[in-house]
């Protein structure tokens, strides 16, 4: 028996709709013989309340550095920049639900669930340029690009289905395409970044959950695999799913079980899981393969490609929305939507460096040193994964002669130990503060730290 269910989960937290990064703090220790400073730097999260009353989908345009958030109740789309600042509200988009960008990001397609149509929006001018009817009472909900066509999940009367729109045609017209199975509701859709012809469909909010994988190369839906998840694993009340960047697996977020399940795209067999506490409801995969998972009763977590433990980052979440995660194409900036389930307005959270490893930078120097004597300072740069050859750290010195700081030098970091060292010969008494800065790279966050030595006569 199949049961339709939408479960709202109340999560205990101090602030509704908030995200807090769980990470190591900055620590500084000073001993009699040495002064040691250690710091780990992570860019700060930004949270912006959106001028909308509901939420359904989020996509990120890496060409124009824009974030699009659909608001079905408000019949519109909120457009923000990468900092979360609202750029524009696109109105008169009735029942705006699923969103998808064209491959070149010149067009945004919007499923208009109460207008039985798909809108095409120019991403440069942020205006609607075309509207394509999908058929009477079809109520399109979800969108995905595959096989050169735009595919949509729809509902007619008491059943769902999949349709297509050849947006490359001079006169695009929607077609309802046989999918080889009965859908109780409009199926959610996802495509494979590694195979442009793959389309994955899943039925949300029913027990057990069902996924189907199709080949769209011939213009229709040729089924590759289908599975109802009654066991091994048992999955029910599907909320979200995404195909991994290598096209090998599908990451599934469902109310049950409590972990984000991984299933093979080829035959939908179990292939592991990402640990979650309860009620997984969101998943997003970056272009480099970094995975973000979210749950109503857990954290937003990010993972290195191909790894399910440990997580790169964890963000404490209140009221993360279903389908509420999206990566920017730069692979390190993650966006999350919270709020609206309990009456609050949706909030957009910008999580910079979510796909990078935390970096720890330390400096160690004598607590005191005589003037005219060599002063040696040792530093160490560390992270869970090694740094590339040629990694350097910049050091500046602040003292009585240079109150605003002066460069000491740029020092290469050992590829085996992460250490670097330098020696100076201070000539004047007083405090000297050394500041070391690592600028970061594509895999590691920036870091900075300081240590102070008192120069005596």
The topology (CATH level 3) of 45-351 is: Methylamine Dehydrogenase; Chain H (2.130.10)
pLDDT of residue 344: 73
d(CA 93, CA 90): 7
pLDDT higher for 261 or 32? Answer: 261
Q: For 148-154, what is the mean pLDDT?
A: 97
Statement: residue 236 has pLDDT above 50: yes
Q: Kindly report, as residue ranges, where domains of CATH 2.130.10.10 are found in the chain.
A: 45-351
- Name which of 26-30, 266-270, 414-418 the model is least confident about: 26-30
Statement: residue 26 has pLDDT above 70: no
- Tens-place pLDDT, residues 420-432: 999 999 999 999 9
Tell me which residue has tokens 């910049």. 394
- Take residue 392 and report the two structure tokens written for it: 């350097």
- Name which of 30-39, 53-62, 77-86, 314-323 the model is least confident about: 30-39
3-class SS letters over the chain: CCEECCCCCCCCCCCCCCEEEECCCCEEEECCCEEEEEEECCCCCEEEECCCCCCCCEEEECCCCEEEEEECCCCEEEEEECCCCEEEEECCCCCEEEEEECCCCCEEEEEECCCCEEEEEECCCCEEEEEEECCCCCCCCEEEEECCEEEEEEEECCEEEEEEECCCCCCCCEEEECCCCCECCCCEEEECCCCCCEEEEECCCEECCEEEEEECCCCCCEEEEEEECECCCECEEEEEEEECCCCCEEEEEEEECCCEEEEECCCCCEEEEECCCCCEEEEEECCCCCEEEEECCCEEEEECCCCCCCCCEEEEECCEEEEEEEECCCCCCEEEEECCCCCCCCEEEEECCCCCECCEEEEEEECEEECCCCEEEEEEEECCCCCCCCCEEEEEEECCCCCCCEEEEEEECCCCCCEEEEEECCCCCEEEEEEEEECCCCCECCEEEEEEEEEEC
- Name which of 255-264, 304-313, 419-428 the model is least confident about: 304-313
Name the CA dihedral angle for 126, 131, 135, 136, rounded to a multiple of 10 degrees: 80
pLDDT of residue 43: 62
d(CA 131, CA 118): 6
Statement: residue 355 has pLDDT above 80: yes
Name the CA dihedral angle for 281, 49, 72, 3, rounded to a multiple of 10 degrees: 20
* Domain 29-41+358-456: CATH superfamily, name plus number: SOR catalytic domain (2.60.40.730)
pLDDT bin (cut points 50, 70, 90) of residue 16 is: very low
pLDDT of residue 10: 32
- Tens-place pLDDT, residues 184-197: 999 999 999 999 99
pLDDT bin (cut points 50, 70, 90) of residue 25 is: very low
Q: For 204-233, what is the mean pLDDT?
A: 96
pLDDT of residue 5: 33
Q: Kindly report, as residue ranges, where domains of CATH 2.60.40.730 are found in the chain.
A: 29-41+358-456
């Amino acid at each position: 028996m199949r049961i339709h269910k939408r479960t709202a989960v109340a999560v205990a937290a101090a602030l509704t709709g908030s995200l807090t990064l769980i990470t190591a703090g900055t620590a500084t220790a000073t001993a009699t013989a040495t002064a040691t400073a250690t710091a780990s730097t992570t860019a700060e999260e930004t949270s912006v309340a959106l001028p909308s009353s509901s939420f359904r989908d989020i996509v990120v345009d890496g060409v124009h550095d824009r974030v699009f958030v659909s608001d079905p109740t408000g019949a519109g789309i909120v457009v923000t920049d990468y900092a979360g600042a609202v750029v524009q509200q696109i109105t008169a988009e009735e029942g705006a639900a699923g969103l998808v960008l064209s491959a070149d990001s010149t067009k945004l397609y919007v499923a208009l669930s109460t207008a039985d149509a798909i809108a095409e929006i120019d991403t440069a001018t942020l205006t609607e340029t075309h509207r394509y009817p999908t058929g009477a009472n079809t109520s399109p909900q979800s969108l995905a690009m595959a096989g050169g066509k735009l595919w949509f999940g729809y509902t007619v009367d008491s059943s769902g289905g999949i349709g297509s729109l050849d947006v490359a045609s001079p006169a695009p017209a929607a077609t309802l395409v046989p999918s080889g199975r009965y859908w109780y509701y409009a199926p959610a859709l996802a495509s494979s970044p590694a195979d442009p012809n793959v389309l994955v469909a899943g039925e949300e909010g029913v027990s057990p959950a069902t996924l189907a994988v199709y080949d769209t190369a011939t213009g229709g839906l040729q089924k590759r695999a289908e599975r109802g998840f009654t066991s091994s694993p048992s999955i029910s009340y599907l909320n979200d799913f995404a195909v991994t960047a290598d096209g090998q697996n599908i990451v599934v977020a469902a109310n049950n079980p409590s972990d984000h399940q991984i299933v093979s795209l080829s035959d939908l067999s179990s292939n592991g899981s990402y640990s979650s506490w309860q009620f997984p409801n969101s998943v997003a995969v970056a272009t480099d393969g970094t995975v973000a998972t979210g749950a109503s009763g857990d954290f937003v977590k990010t993972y290195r490609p191909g790894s399910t433990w440990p997580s790169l980052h964890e963000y404490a979440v209140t009221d993360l929305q279903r389908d509420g995660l999206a990566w920017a194409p730069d692979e390190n900036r993650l966006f999350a939507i919270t709020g609206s389930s309990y009456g609050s307005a949706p909030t957009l959270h910008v999580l910079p460096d979510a796909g990078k490893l935390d970096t720890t930078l330390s400096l160690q120097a004598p607590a005191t040193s005589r003037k005219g004597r060599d002063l040696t300072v040792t530093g160490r740069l560390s992270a869970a994964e090694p740094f590339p050859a040629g990694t350097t750290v910049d050091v500046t010195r602040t003292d009585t002669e240079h109150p605003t700081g002066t460069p000491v030098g740029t020092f290469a970091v050992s590829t085996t130990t992460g250490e670097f060292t330098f020696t100076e010969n201070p000539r004047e008494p007083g405090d000297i503060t050394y500041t070391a800065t690592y600028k970061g790279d594509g895999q590691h966050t920036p870091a900075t730290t300081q240590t102070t030595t008192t120069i005596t006569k």
